[in-house]
Amino acid sequence: VKMYDTSIGWRFVNKKLDAQYGSEGMIQTAQNIATDFNISREDQDAFAHWSQEKAHKAQQNGTLAREIVSVMVPQRKKDPIEVSQDEHPRLTSLEKLSTLRSLTGENGSITAGNASGVNDGAAALLITSEDAVKKFNLTPKVKILGMATAGVLPRIMGMGPVPATQKVLAKLGLRLDEMDIIELNEAFAAQSLGCTRKLGLEDNDPRINPLGGAIALGHPLGMSGARIVTSAFYQLQHSNAKKALCTMCIGVGQGIAMVLEKV
């Protein structure tokens, strides 16, 4: 059995799927998107820098703090350390980002600076039915209007949010311009720009990840979906925004999208 790290690719490769679609790792799939859709290194670095700037500002003004519960981390011979904010954000410059080595060969454009970091995290959401709201006298804050999943070729798995978004919007009879907040997972800047451009958005649309995305905050396995929904939830609560789109790519060629509405 050949082992693979699921943070960058398949763990157990299905031979039949491999023969039909290949089994390229996450980094290569991002490079495929950059190549197929002519997304330059400069544009990727600019998007990554923008994500870091937004996250830094949100940390400095306390916006991100409202959606984080601090955790005490025991130390062997020292006092416990309180972790109260994400450790991954690194405010940088376009000049520094431009000096980073490509992870996808001499002509590649994916770097550690324009890709999300792999880190640890946990999130919790309380989702209930309308019947449960009445039974337990709950006060809902946000309503899930609908969700959808879709598939794309594994070699460009990061494009999954595009058909998933189109599918859920069509199902709900809504348009993308009706979304006040767009939380899109930032596995890679190339992947993010591939999706936003395909959806007809400007690279710097202010609705995209207003508090920064995974390039700045990190992309914890199994937690990112809950994180972007949590972030959208708090942004809806503390602004005049009414609707939010939460969407992300899923390894091996999938995408998921959900539309939230403030109650």
Section 151-172 average pLDDT? 98
**Which pLDDT does position 2 carry in this prediction?**
59
State the pLDDT confidence band at 21, using cuts at 50, 70 and 90: confident
Section 1-29 average pLDDT? 75
Phi, psi (rounded to 5 degrees) for 125: -130, 145
Residue 16 has pLDDT above 90, yes or no: no
CATH number of residue 56's parent domain:
3.40.47.10
User: Residue 244: beta bridge partners?
Assistant: 181, 260
Overall number of domains in the chain: 1
State the pLDDT confidence band at 6, using cuts at 50, 70 and 90: low
Q: How far is CA 209 from CA 102, 123, 132, 138, in A?
A: 25, 18, 31, 29
Residue 67 has pLDDT above 70, yes or no: yes
Q: How far is CA 93 from CA 44, 53, 99, 111, 209, in A?
A: 13, 9, 10, 14, 19
Residue 81 has pLDDT above 70, yes or no: yes
Phi, psi (rounded to 5 degrees) for 122: -145, 150
Residue 230 has pLDDT above 80, yes or no: yes
Q: Can you give the residue range of the structural domain that contains 206?
A: 1-263
* Rounded-to-integer distance, Cα 10 and Cα 28, Å: 12
230-262 per-residue burial string, b: 16 or more CB within 10 A, e: under 16: bbbbbbbeeeebebbbbbbbbbbbbbbbbbbbb
State the pLDDT confidence band at 10, using cuts at 50, 70 and 90: low
Question: Do 22 and 154 contact (CB within 8 A), yes or no?
Answer: yes
pTM (2 d.p.): 0.93
User: Of 9-13, 81-85, 134-138, 199-203, which range is least confident?
Assistant: 9-13
∠ CA(3), CA(228), CA(103), 5° rounding?
A: 45
Residue 73 has pLDDT above 70, yes or no: yes
